[in-house]
Structure 1
Amino acid sequence: MKFLVFGLILIAFFMAFQLNSDFNTYHAERSNQHAIVEPEDAYIGYKCENVHIRIQCESPAWEGTILEVYNNMNESAHIHVSLAQQIVGIEIKNSEFDLAPGDVEEIIARISLPAGVYYVEFTISAEFENGTAKMLTICSSEIVVETAKPKISKTLLSGKTVVKTHTKETWTFVISVENPKENSTVKDVIPGEFNIVSYSATTGNVIITTTGKSKHISWTLSESGRLTVTIETALNPAGKQEFTSPGKYYLNEGAELDGIKTSPIIVYAVCN
Protein backbone atom coordinates (compact mmCIF):
# COMPACT_ATOMS: atom_id res chain seq x y z
CA MET A 1 0.00 0.00 0.00
CA LYS A 2 2.85 2.35 0.92
CA PHE A 3 4.46 1.64 -2.44
CA LEU A 4 1.16 2.41 -4.23
CA VAL A 5 0.76 5.74 -2.42
CA PHE A 6 4.39 6.64 -3.09
CA GLY A 7 3.95 5.75 -6.76
CA LEU A 8 0.86 7.92 -7.04
CA ILE A 9 2.76 10.82 -5.46
CA LEU A 10 5.58 10.43 -7.99
CA ILE A 11 3.13 10.32 -10.90
CA ALA A 12 1.35 13.44 -9.63
CA PHE A 13 4.67 15.26 -9.21
CA PHE A 14 5.79 14.30 -12.70
CA MET A 15 2.50 15.47 -14.24
CA ALA A 16 2.72 18.79 -12.39
CA PHE A 17 6.27 19.28 -13.64
CA GLN A 18 5.28 18.40 -17.20
CA LEU A 19 2.33 20.82 -17.16
CA ASN A 20 4.57 23.56 -15.87
CA SER A 21 7.12 22.85 -18.61
CA ASP A 22 4.45 22.96 -21.30
CA PHE A 23 3.16 26.25 -19.90
CA ASN A 24 6.61 27.76 -20.03
CA THR A 25 7.08 26.46 -23.57
CA TYR A 26 3.72 27.90 -24.54
CA HIS A 27 4.66 31.28 -23.16
CA ALA A 28 7.97 31.23 -25.02
CA GLU A 29 6.24 30.37 -28.28
CA ARG A 30 3.57 32.95 -27.63
CA SER A 31 6.23 35.59 -27.09
CA ASN A 32 7.85 34.62 -30.36
CA GLN A 33 4.53 34.81 -32.19
CA HIS A 34 4.15 38.34 -30.85
CA ALA A 35 5.91 39.50 -34.02
CA ILE A 36 5.89 36.61 -36.46
CA VAL A 37 2.35 36.51 -37.85
CA GLU A 38 0.84 37.78 -41.08
CA PRO A 39 3.03 40.79 -42.05
CA GLU A 40 0.41 43.53 -42.15
CA ASP A 41 -1.59 42.23 -39.17
CA ALA A 42 1.34 41.61 -36.83
CA TYR A 43 1.76 43.73 -33.74
CA ILE A 44 4.67 45.22 -35.64
CA GLY A 45 3.61 44.74 -39.25
CA TYR A 46 5.10 45.59 -42.60
CA LYS A 47 4.30 45.80 -46.29
CA CYS A 48 6.79 45.68 -49.16
CA GLU A 49 6.43 48.54 -51.65
CA ASN A 50 8.02 48.85 -55.10
CA VAL A 51 8.85 45.15 -55.22
CA HIS A 52 9.97 45.54 -58.85
CA ILE A 53 12.32 48.49 -59.36
CA ARG A 54 13.87 49.11 -62.79
CA ILE A 55 16.51 51.82 -63.15
CA GLN A 56 19.47 52.67 -65.37
CA CYS A 57 22.95 52.64 -63.92
CA GLU A 58 23.93 55.97 -65.49
CA SER A 59 20.84 57.79 -64.25
CA PRO A 60 20.70 59.69 -60.94
CA ALA A 61 20.21 57.54 -57.85
CA TRP A 62 16.68 56.16 -57.44
CA GLU A 63 14.99 57.21 -54.20
CA GLY A 64 11.57 56.13 -52.99
CA THR A 65 9.45 54.07 -50.59
CA ILE A 66 10.59 50.47 -50.44
CA LEU A 67 8.84 49.29 -47.26
CA GLU A 68 6.05 50.33 -44.86
CA VAL A 69 6.15 49.49 -41.16
CA TYR A 70 2.99 49.42 -38.99
CA ASN A 71 2.59 49.67 -35.23
CA ASN A 72 -0.60 47.73 -34.45
CA MET A 73 0.00 47.73 -30.69
CA ASN A 74 -1.45 50.11 -28.13
CA GLU A 75 2.01 51.29 -27.10
CA SER A 76 4.89 53.05 -28.81
CA ALA A 77 7.82 51.13 -30.25
CA HIS A 78 11.35 51.96 -31.24
CA ILE A 79 12.00 50.49 -34.71
CA HIS A 80 15.22 49.66 -36.53
CA VAL A 81 15.17 48.57 -40.20
CA SER A 82 18.22 47.16 -41.97
CA LEU A 83 19.08 45.10 -45.04
CA ALA A 84 19.16 41.39 -44.30
CA GLN A 85 22.34 41.31 -46.36
CA GLN A 86 24.30 44.51 -46.79
CA ILE A 87 24.60 45.71 -50.40
CA VAL A 88 26.91 48.62 -51.17
CA GLY A 89 24.84 51.12 -53.13
CA ILE A 90 21.59 50.72 -51.17
CA GLU A 91 21.06 53.17 -48.32
CA ILE A 92 18.05 53.25 -46.00
CA LYS A 93 17.43 56.90 -45.26
CA ASN A 94 15.27 56.46 -42.13
CA SER A 95 16.57 53.21 -40.65
CA GLU A 96 15.74 54.02 -37.00
CA PHE A 97 12.68 55.78 -35.60
CA ASP A 98 9.95 55.79 -32.95
CA LEU A 99 6.51 54.64 -34.03
CA ALA A 100 3.40 55.65 -32.11
CA PRO A 101 0.41 53.27 -31.70
CA GLY A 102 -1.49 52.90 -34.98
CA ASP A 103 1.09 54.82 -37.01
CA VAL A 104 2.75 53.82 -40.27
CA GLU A 105 6.30 54.74 -41.34
CA GLU A 106 7.40 54.72 -44.99
CA ILE A 107 10.94 53.40 -45.32
CA ILE A 108 12.86 55.39 -47.93
CA ALA A 109 15.75 53.79 -49.81
CA ARG A 110 18.36 55.44 -52.01
CA ILE A 111 19.68 53.10 -54.70
CA SER A 112 22.76 53.63 -56.86
CA LEU A 113 24.08 50.32 -58.17
CA PRO A 114 26.05 48.95 -61.12
CA ALA A 115 24.18 46.99 -63.76
CA GLY A 116 22.69 43.72 -62.50
CA VAL A 117 19.71 42.13 -60.74
CA TYR A 118 19.43 42.38 -56.95
CA TYR A 119 17.00 40.84 -54.45
CA VAL A 120 16.65 42.75 -51.20
CA GLU A 121 15.14 41.54 -47.91
CA PHE A 122 14.89 43.45 -44.67
CA THR A 123 15.31 42.82 -40.96
CA ILE A 124 12.92 44.72 -38.71
CA SER A 125 13.68 45.03 -34.98
CA ALA A 126 11.33 46.56 -32.43
CA GLU A 127 11.71 47.51 -28.78
CA PHE A 128 8.64 48.29 -26.69
CA GLU A 129 7.63 48.39 -23.03
CA ASN A 130 6.67 44.72 -22.77
CA GLY A 131 9.46 43.21 -24.81
CA THR A 132 11.27 43.09 -28.12
CA ALA A 133 10.65 41.58 -31.53
CA LYS A 134 12.74 40.86 -34.59
CA MET A 135 11.67 39.56 -37.99
CA LEU A 136 12.92 38.96 -41.51
CA THR A 137 10.54 40.16 -44.23
CA ILE A 138 8.98 37.34 -46.24
CA CYS A 139 8.68 39.58 -49.30
CA SER A 140 11.65 40.97 -51.19
CA SER A 141 12.29 43.77 -53.65
CA GLU A 142 13.71 42.93 -57.05
CA ILE A 143 15.97 45.70 -58.32
CA VAL A 144 16.95 45.57 -61.97
CA VAL A 145 19.71 48.00 -62.93
CA GLU A 146 20.06 48.24 -66.69
CA THR A 147 22.96 49.55 -68.69
CA ALA A 148 21.82 52.86 -70.13
CA LYS A 149 21.54 52.93 -73.91
CA PRO A 150 23.85 55.23 -75.86
CA LYS A 151 22.34 58.49 -77.14
CA ILE A 152 23.63 60.98 -79.69
CA SER A 153 22.25 64.32 -80.79
CA LYS A 154 23.38 67.34 -82.76
CA THR A 155 22.43 70.97 -82.22
CA LEU A 156 23.19 74.06 -84.30
CA LEU A 157 24.44 76.69 -81.86
CA SER A 158 25.01 79.58 -84.23
CA GLY A 159 24.83 80.42 -87.93
CA LYS A 160 22.11 81.10 -90.46
CA THR A 161 20.04 78.41 -92.11
CA VAL A 162 19.32 80.61 -95.14
CA VAL A 163 22.35 82.40 -96.63
CA LYS A 164 23.41 84.30 -99.76
CA THR A 165 25.55 82.73 -102.45
CA HIS A 166 29.19 83.83 -102.77
CA THR A 167 29.16 85.00 -99.14
CA LYS A 168 31.43 83.68 -96.39
CA GLU A 169 29.40 82.23 -93.55
CA THR A 170 30.26 80.51 -90.28
CA TRP A 171 28.37 77.91 -88.24
CA THR A 172 28.95 76.24 -84.89
CA PHE A 173 27.27 72.99 -83.92
CA VAL A 174 27.65 70.60 -81.01
CA ILE A 175 27.48 66.79 -81.00
CA SER A 176 26.30 65.45 -77.63
CA VAL A 177 26.81 61.83 -76.56
CA GLU A 178 25.36 60.08 -73.52
CA ASN A 179 26.18 56.63 -72.11
CA PRO A 180 28.70 55.49 -74.73
CA LYS A 181 30.37 52.11 -74.44
CA GLU A 182 34.07 51.88 -73.63
CA ASN A 183 36.14 53.34 -76.48
CA SER A 184 33.14 54.19 -78.65
CA THR A 185 33.72 56.15 -81.84
CA VAL A 186 31.54 58.94 -83.20
CA LYS A 187 31.94 59.57 -86.93
CA ASP A 188 30.84 62.52 -89.00
CA VAL A 189 31.71 64.00 -92.40
CA ILE A 190 31.97 67.67 -93.30
CA PRO A 191 31.38 68.19 -97.07
CA GLY A 192 33.99 69.82 -99.32
CA GLU A 193 32.20 73.18 -99.42
CA PHE A 194 33.39 73.87 -95.85
CA ASN A 195 36.54 74.29 -93.84
CA ILE A 196 36.80 73.27 -90.18
CA VAL A 197 37.77 76.38 -88.23
CA SER A 198 38.01 74.79 -84.78
CA TYR A 199 36.81 71.90 -82.64
CA SER A 200 36.80 71.12 -78.93
CA ALA A 201 35.74 67.99 -77.02
CA THR A 202 34.95 67.73 -73.31
CA THR A 203 36.29 64.17 -73.24
CA GLY A 204 38.03 61.65 -75.45
CA ASN A 205 40.24 62.08 -78.51
CA VAL A 206 39.35 63.73 -81.85
CA ILE A 207 41.07 63.01 -85.17
CA ILE A 208 40.33 64.92 -88.40
CA THR A 209 41.29 63.37 -91.74
CA THR A 210 40.68 64.51 -95.30
CA THR A 211 39.37 62.29 -98.08
CA GLY A 212 39.08 64.18 -101.34
CA LYS A 213 37.52 67.49 -100.31
CA SER A 214 35.55 66.08 -97.38
CA LYS A 215 36.75 66.29 -93.78
CA HIS A 216 36.14 63.17 -91.67
CA ILE A 217 35.70 63.54 -87.91
CA SER A 218 36.52 60.57 -85.66
CA TRP A 219 35.82 61.12 -81.96
CA THR A 220 36.73 58.30 -79.55
CA LEU A 221 35.29 58.46 -76.03
CA SER A 222 34.29 56.29 -73.06
CA GLU A 223 31.97 58.65 -71.16
CA SER A 224 29.27 61.17 -71.88
CA GLY A 225 30.56 64.33 -73.54
CA ARG A 226 30.20 67.12 -76.08
CA LEU A 227 32.12 67.92 -79.25
CA THR A 228 31.80 71.51 -80.48
CA VAL A 229 32.75 72.18 -84.09
CA THR A 230 32.95 75.47 -85.98
CA ILE A 231 32.99 75.46 -89.80
CA GLU A 232 32.92 78.06 -92.55
CA THR A 233 32.26 78.16 -96.26
CA ALA A 234 35.45 77.51 -98.22
CA LEU A 235 36.85 78.78 -101.50
CA ASN A 236 36.30 76.42 -104.39
CA PRO A 237 39.26 75.33 -106.59
CA ALA A 238 38.61 78.32 -108.85
CA GLY A 239 39.04 80.63 -105.86
CA LYS A 240 35.36 81.57 -105.64
CA GLN A 241 33.51 81.73 -102.34
CA GLU A 242 31.09 78.91 -101.64
CA PHE A 243 28.21 78.60 -102.11
CA THR A 244 28.56 79.32 -105.80
CA SER A 245 25.03 78.26 -106.68
CA PRO A 246 21.68 78.34 -104.88
CA GLY A 247 20.29 75.19 -103.35
CA LYS A 248 20.23 72.91 -100.32
CA TYR A 249 23.50 72.09 -98.56
CA TYR A 250 24.39 69.74 -95.72
CA LEU A 251 26.72 71.14 -93.08
CA ASN A 252 27.48 67.53 -92.21
CA GLU A 253 26.20 64.10 -93.15
CA GLY A 254 24.92 63.22 -89.67
CA ALA A 255 26.97 62.10 -86.68
CA GLU A 256 26.87 58.33 -86.06
CA LEU A 257 27.47 56.24 -82.93
CA ASP A 258 26.92 52.46 -82.71
CA GLY A 259 24.49 52.50 -85.62
CA ILE A 260 22.59 55.52 -84.26
CA LYS A 261 22.75 58.45 -86.67
CA THR A 262 21.60 62.03 -86.29
CA SER A 263 19.94 63.95 -89.06
CA PRO A 264 22.20 66.30 -91.04
CA ILE A 265 22.07 70.04 -90.46
CA ILE A 266 20.70 71.66 -93.64
CA VAL A 267 21.16 75.21 -94.88
CA TYR A 268 19.79 76.88 -98.00
CA ALA A 269 21.67 79.22 -100.31
CA VAL A 270 19.74 81.84 -102.28
CA CYS A 271 21.01 84.08 -105.05
CA ASN A 272 22.90 87.10 -103.87
Structure 2
Amino acid sequence: MRKLIPVILMLLLSSLIVIGSSGTFVYFNAEREVRVAVVPHDKEYLSFMCYNGYAATVIVDQNSNLTFDALKIGNYLNELKTVNVWLDPDYSNLPSGVEMWIESEDAITRPIDSQEYYTFWGNISVENADPGTYEVPITLYATWNGGDAVIETCSIKVIILSGPKIRKILLSGNTTNIPLKTYQEWVFQIEVNNSGTPRNLTIEDVIPGEFDVDLNRTSASKGNYTFTRHGKSDHLEWNVELGSGESVHMNITISTRWVKTGKGGKWEFTTCGTYPLNEGAKIVGYNITSNNITVVADVNCEDDGNCEHDCGGSSKKCC
Protein backbone atom coordinates (compact mmCIF):
# COMPACT_ATOMS: atom_id res chain seq x y z
CA MET A 1 0.00 0.00 0.00
CA ARG A 2 1.23 3.44 -0.80
CA LYS A 3 2.00 5.74 2.07
CA LEU A 4 3.31 9.25 2.48
CA ILE A 5 7.09 9.23 2.63
CA PRO A 6 8.84 11.38 5.27
CA VAL A 7 10.49 14.33 3.58
CA ILE A 8 14.15 14.95 4.32
CA LEU A 9 14.94 18.56 3.48
CA MET A 10 18.50 19.32 2.47
CA LEU A 11 19.31 22.92 1.72
CA LEU A 12 21.84 22.59 -1.09
CA LEU A 13 22.18 26.16 -2.28
CA SER A 14 21.06 28.68 0.31
CA SER A 15 22.19 31.74 -1.61
CA LEU A 16 22.14 30.74 -5.27
CA ILE A 17 20.67 33.48 -7.43
CA VAL A 18 18.36 32.29 -10.16
CA ILE A 19 17.19 34.75 -12.77
CA GLY A 20 13.80 34.25 -14.38
CA SER A 21 11.75 36.61 -16.47
CA SER A 22 8.22 37.80 -16.97
CA GLY A 23 8.08 40.87 -19.14
CA THR A 24 11.05 42.86 -17.84
CA PHE A 25 10.79 41.68 -14.24
CA VAL A 26 13.81 39.92 -12.74
CA TYR A 27 13.33 37.58 -9.80
CA PHE A 28 16.09 36.57 -7.38
CA ASN A 29 15.22 33.27 -5.74
CA ALA A 30 16.82 31.09 -3.10
CA GLU A 31 16.89 27.68 -4.77
CA ARG A 32 16.93 24.37 -2.93
CA GLU A 33 16.64 20.73 -3.83
CA VAL A 34 14.30 18.77 -1.56
CA ARG A 35 15.43 15.13 -1.23
CA VAL A 36 12.92 12.48 -0.24
CA ALA A 37 14.18 9.11 1.03
CA VAL A 38 12.11 6.39 -0.60
CA VAL A 39 14.13 3.39 0.62
CA PRO A 40 15.26 2.42 4.16
CA HIS A 41 18.50 4.41 3.85
CA ASP A 42 19.11 7.96 2.68
CA LYS A 43 21.56 7.11 -0.10
CA GLU A 44 18.74 6.64 -2.59
CA TYR A 45 16.08 9.24 -3.03
CA LEU A 46 13.85 11.24 -5.32
CA SER A 47 14.14 15.00 -5.37
CA PHE A 48 12.21 18.07 -6.45
CA MET A 49 13.23 21.69 -6.77
CA CYS A 50 11.73 24.55 -4.75
CA TYR A 51 12.25 28.28 -5.21
CA ASN A 52 11.45 30.40 -2.17
CA GLY A 53 9.27 27.55 -0.96
CA TYR A 54 7.37 26.98 -4.22
CA ALA A 55 7.81 24.61 -7.13
CA ALA A 56 7.09 27.59 -9.40
CA THR A 57 5.73 31.11 -9.14
CA VAL A 58 3.42 31.92 -12.03
CA ILE A 59 2.57 35.58 -12.64
CA VAL A 60 -0.22 36.07 -15.15
CA ASP A 61 -2.51 38.92 -16.18
CA GLN A 62 -6.26 38.83 -16.51
CA ASN A 63 -7.45 37.90 -20.01
CA SER A 64 -4.20 36.17 -20.93
CA ASN A 65 -2.48 32.78 -20.87
CA LEU A 66 0.99 31.49 -20.07
CA THR A 67 3.07 28.32 -20.41
CA PHE A 68 5.56 27.68 -17.60
CA ASP A 69 7.92 25.15 -15.96
CA ALA A 70 5.86 23.57 -13.18
CA LEU A 71 8.10 21.13 -11.27
CA LYS A 72 11.59 19.65 -11.68
CA ILE A 73 12.02 16.04 -10.46
CA GLY A 74 15.30 14.14 -9.95
CA ASN A 75 15.89 10.36 -9.79
CA TYR A 76 18.68 9.24 -7.45
CA LEU A 77 17.81 5.58 -7.15
CA ASN A 78 20.78 3.25 -7.59
CA GLU A 79 21.07 0.22 -9.88
CA LEU A 80 19.97 2.35 -12.84
CA LYS A 81 16.32 2.12 -11.86
CA THR A 82 13.92 4.09 -14.04
CA VAL A 83 11.17 5.88 -12.12
CA ASN A 84 7.75 6.51 -13.67
CA VAL A 85 6.22 9.72 -12.33
CA TRP A 86 2.92 11.53 -12.65
CA LEU A 87 1.59 14.61 -10.87
CA ASP A 88 -1.78 15.24 -9.28
CA PRO A 89 -2.46 18.99 -8.86
CA ASP A 90 -5.29 20.34 -6.72
CA TYR A 91 -6.93 23.32 -8.43
CA SER A 92 -9.68 23.86 -5.86
CA ASN A 93 -8.11 27.09 -4.54
CA LEU A 94 -8.18 28.82 -7.94
CA PRO A 95 -10.96 31.37 -8.59
CA SER A 96 -13.62 31.16 -11.25
CA GLY A 97 -12.33 32.16 -14.67
CA VAL A 98 -9.02 30.27 -14.40
CA GLU A 99 -8.10 27.08 -16.23
CA MET A 100 -4.81 25.36 -15.41
CA TRP A 101 -3.19 22.17 -16.69
CA ILE A 102 -0.04 20.40 -15.45
CA GLU A 103 1.75 17.81 -17.56
CA SER A 104 0.88 14.21 -16.57
CA GLU A 105 -2.21 15.17 -14.52
CA ASP A 106 -4.04 12.72 -16.80
CA ALA A 107 -2.06 9.93 -15.04
CA ILE A 108 0.08 9.26 -18.11
CA THR A 109 3.47 8.73 -16.49
CA ARG A 110 6.79 10.23 -17.51
CA PRO A 111 9.90 8.00 -17.18
CA ILE A 112 12.98 9.46 -15.48
CA ASP A 113 16.22 7.51 -15.80
CA SER A 114 18.61 7.10 -12.88
CA GLN A 115 20.72 10.20 -12.16
CA GLU A 116 18.52 12.30 -14.46
CA TYR A 117 16.07 15.18 -14.04
CA TYR A 118 12.75 15.87 -15.73
CA THR A 119 10.88 19.19 -15.76
CA PHE A 120 7.11 19.02 -15.99
CA TRP A 121 5.45 21.95 -17.73
CA GLY A 122 2.10 23.63 -17.26
CA ASN A 123 -0.29 26.08 -18.86
CA ILE A 124 -2.67 28.59 -17.32
CA SER A 125 -5.46 30.57 -18.99
CA VAL A 126 -7.06 33.46 -17.11
CA GLU A 127 -10.22 35.28 -18.09
CA ASN A 128 -11.70 38.08 -15.96
CA ALA A 129 -10.77 36.27 -12.73
CA ASP A 130 -10.32 37.96 -9.35
CA PRO A 131 -6.76 39.31 -8.95
CA GLY A 132 -4.84 37.83 -6.03
CA THR A 133 -2.38 35.15 -4.90
CA TYR A 134 -3.38 31.48 -4.96
CA GLU A 135 -1.67 28.13 -4.32
CA VAL A 136 -1.96 24.85 -6.19
CA PRO A 137 -0.74 21.85 -4.10
CA ILE A 138 1.02 19.13 -6.09
CA THR A 139 1.12 15.43 -5.16
CA LEU A 140 3.79 13.32 -6.87
CA TYR A 141 3.19 9.63 -7.58
CA ALA A 142 6.21 7.48 -8.44
CA THR A 143 6.64 3.79 -9.27
CA TRP A 144 9.72 1.71 -10.06
CA ASN A 145 10.73 -1.89 -10.16
CA GLY A 146 10.26 -2.99 -6.57
CA GLY A 147 8.63 0.07 -5.06
CA ASP A 148 6.41 3.12 -5.20
CA ALA A 149 5.95 6.40 -3.37
CA VAL A 150 3.51 9.25 -2.84
CA ILE A 151 5.14 12.60 -2.10
CA GLU A 152 3.66 15.99 -1.31
CA THR A 153 5.86 18.49 -3.16
CA CYS A 154 6.09 22.26 -2.94
CA SER A 155 2.98 24.04 -4.20
CA ILE A 156 2.77 26.27 -7.25
CA LYS A 157 2.09 29.92 -6.45
CA VAL A 158 -0.25 31.68 -8.89
CA ILE A 159 -0.36 35.48 -8.89
CA ILE A 160 -3.16 37.00 -10.98
CA LEU A 161 -2.69 40.66 -11.85
CA SER A 162 -5.28 43.08 -13.13
CA GLY A 163 -5.06 43.35 -16.88
CA PRO A 164 -4.92 46.65 -18.75
CA LYS A 165 -7.94 48.93 -18.53
CA ILE A 166 -9.25 51.45 -21.05
CA ARG A 167 -11.87 54.18 -20.95
CA LYS A 168 -13.11 57.20 -22.92
CA ILE A 169 -13.52 60.70 -21.47
CA LEU A 170 -15.24 63.59 -23.26
CA LEU A 171 -13.11 66.68 -22.62
CA SER A 172 -15.16 69.24 -24.54
CA GLY A 173 -18.15 69.52 -26.87
CA ASN A 174 -21.92 69.33 -26.69
CA THR A 175 -23.72 66.03 -26.23
CA THR A 176 -27.34 67.27 -26.50
CA ASN A 177 -29.26 70.21 -27.98
CA ILE A 178 -27.17 70.03 -31.14
CA PRO A 179 -28.77 71.78 -34.14
CA LEU A 180 -28.74 70.26 -37.61
CA LYS A 181 -26.30 71.39 -40.30
CA THR A 182 -24.00 73.34 -37.99
CA TYR A 183 -20.28 73.06 -37.37
CA GLN A 184 -19.58 71.27 -34.08
CA GLU A 185 -16.37 69.93 -32.58
CA TRP A 186 -15.43 67.63 -29.72
CA VAL A 187 -12.27 66.58 -27.92
CA PHE A 188 -12.24 63.17 -26.27
CA GLN A 189 -9.54 61.18 -24.53
CA ILE A 190 -8.65 57.50 -24.65
CA GLU A 191 -6.98 56.54 -21.36
CA VAL A 192 -5.14 53.24 -20.85
CA ASN A 193 -3.91 52.02 -17.45
CA ASN A 194 -1.60 49.06 -16.89
CA SER A 195 -1.45 47.63 -13.37
CA GLY A 196 0.02 44.32 -14.54
CA THR A 197 3.34 43.33 -16.09
CA PRO A 198 5.04 45.54 -18.71
CA ARG A 199 3.56 45.04 -22.15
CA ASN A 200 3.20 46.38 -25.68
CA LEU A 201 -0.41 47.23 -26.51
CA THR A 202 -2.27 48.02 -29.71
CA ILE A 203 -5.44 50.09 -29.36
CA GLU A 204 -7.94 50.34 -32.21
CA ASP A 205 -10.92 52.65 -32.65
CA VAL A 206 -13.21 53.86 -35.45
CA ILE A 207 -14.39 57.44 -36.06
CA PRO A 208 -17.69 57.30 -38.03
CA GLY A 209 -18.23 58.99 -41.39
CA GLU A 210 -20.11 61.99 -39.98
CA PHE A 211 -16.86 63.38 -38.53
CA ASP A 212 -13.41 64.60 -39.57
CA VAL A 213 -10.31 64.04 -37.42
CA ASP A 214 -8.18 67.14 -36.84
CA LEU A 215 -4.70 65.60 -36.90
CA ASN A 216 -3.07 68.92 -35.97
CA ARG A 217 -4.99 68.90 -32.70
CA THR A 218 -4.64 65.19 -31.95
CA SER A 219 -1.77 63.77 -29.87
CA ALA A 220 -0.72 60.84 -27.68
CA SER A 221 1.30 61.01 -24.47
CA LYS A 222 3.33 58.03 -25.67
CA GLY A 223 3.60 55.63 -28.59
CA ASN A 224 2.85 55.87 -32.31
CA TYR A 225 -0.53 56.15 -33.99
CA THR A 226 -2.08 56.30 -37.48
CA PHE A 227 -5.51 57.06 -38.90
CA THR A 228 -6.51 55.19 -42.05
CA ARG A 229 -9.59 55.99 -44.14
CA HIS A 230 -11.93 53.06 -44.81
CA GLY A 231 -14.92 54.21 -46.82
CA LYS A 232 -16.09 57.33 -44.99
CA SER A 233 -14.82 56.34 -41.54
CA ASP A 234 -11.36 56.81 -40.03
CA HIS A 235 -9.69 53.83 -38.31
CA LEU A 236 -7.21 54.47 -35.50
CA GLU A 237 -4.30 52.19 -34.61
CA TRP A 238 -2.23 53.23 -31.58
CA ASN A 239 0.82 51.18 -30.55
CA VAL A 240 2.25 51.90 -27.14
CA GLU A 241 4.58 50.25 -24.59
CA LEU A 242 3.46 50.47 -20.96
CA GLY A 243 5.46 49.69 -17.86
CA SER A 244 3.96 48.20 -14.74
CA GLY A 245 1.64 50.76 -13.13
CA GLU A 246 1.92 53.16 -16.07
CA SER A 247 -0.94 55.20 -17.53
CA VAL A 248 -1.05 56.77 -21.00
CA HIS A 249 -3.63 58.78 -22.92
CA MET A 250 -4.48 60.08 -26.37
CA ASN A 251 -6.49 63.25 -27.05
CA ILE A 252 -8.47 63.25 -30.31
CA THR A 253 -10.18 66.30 -31.82
CA ILE A 254 -13.03 65.70 -34.27
CA SER A 255 -15.65 67.89 -35.94
CA THR A 256 -18.76 67.52 -38.05
CA ARG A 257 -17.90 66.85 -41.68
CA TRP A 258 -18.72 69.17 -44.57
CA VAL A 259 -20.92 67.30 -47.04
CA LYS A 260 -20.77 68.49 -50.64
CA THR A 261 -24.12 68.84 -52.42
CA GLY A 262 -25.32 70.18 -55.74
CA LYS A 263 -25.96 73.52 -54.07
CA GLY A 264 -22.51 73.72 -52.48
CA GLY A 265 -22.68 71.70 -49.30
CA LYS A 266 -23.77 71.51 -45.69
CA TRP A 267 -22.48 70.37 -42.31
CA GLU A 268 -23.38 67.12 -40.68
CA PHE A 269 -25.70 66.25 -39.01
CA THR A 270 -28.29 66.31 -41.77
CA THR A 271 -30.92 64.32 -39.86
CA CYS A 272 -31.85 64.26 -36.21
CA GLY A 273 -30.84 61.31 -34.09
CA THR A 274 -28.18 59.83 -31.80
CA TYR A 275 -24.64 59.57 -33.17
CA PRO A 276 -21.60 57.79 -31.71
CA LEU A 277 -18.48 59.94 -31.78
CA ASN A 278 -16.53 56.70 -32.02
CA GLU A 279 -16.84 53.01 -31.40
CA GLY A 280 -15.57 51.63 -28.10
CA ALA A 281 -11.77 51.55 -28.27
CA LYS A 282 -10.42 47.99 -28.20
CA ILE A 283 -7.17 46.60 -26.83
CA VAL A 284 -6.10 44.10 -29.49
CA GLY A 285 -5.55 40.58 -28.16
CA TYR A 286 -7.60 41.20 -25.03
CA ASN A 287 -11.33 40.95 -24.55
CA ILE A 288 -11.41 44.58 -23.43
CA THR A 289 -13.45 47.40 -24.99
CA SER A 290 -13.99 50.89 -23.60
CA ASN A 291 -17.21 52.81 -23.32
CA ASN A 292 -18.23 54.82 -26.38
CA ILE A 293 -19.41 58.43 -26.47
CA THR A 294 -22.66 59.46 -28.15
CA VAL A 295 -24.24 62.82 -28.96
CA VAL A 296 -27.81 63.77 -29.85
CA ALA A 297 -28.81 66.08 -32.70
CA ASP A 298 -32.28 67.26 -31.69
CA VAL A 299 -32.60 70.94 -32.65
CA ASN A 300 -34.24 72.15 -35.88
CA CYS A 301 -35.49 68.67 -36.62
CA GLU A 302 -38.29 70.16 -38.76
CA ASP A 303 -35.55 71.09 -41.22
CA ASP A 304 -34.03 67.64 -41.70
CA GLY A 305 -36.17 66.54 -44.63
CA ASN A 306 -37.47 63.61 -42.63
CA CYS A 307 -41.28 63.51 -42.77
CA GLU A 308 -41.37 61.33 -39.67
CA HIS A 309 -40.67 64.41 -37.56
CA ASP A 310 -43.26 67.01 -36.62
CA CYS A 311 -42.95 69.83 -39.14
CA GLY A 312 -44.17 72.45 -36.69
CA GLY A 313 -45.13 75.05 -39.27
CA SER A 314 -42.42 74.25 -41.83
CA SER A 315 -43.21 74.81 -45.49
CA LYS A 316 -41.63 71.48 -46.52
CA LYS A 317 -43.53 69.63 -49.21
CA CYS A 318 -43.92 66.59 -46.96
CA CYS A 319 -45.79 68.53 -44.28
**More strand by proportion, 1 or 2?**
2
Output the TM-score relative to the length of structure 1.
Answer: 0.48
Instruction: Give TM-score scaled by structure 2 length.
Output: 0.42
Larger radius of gyration: 1
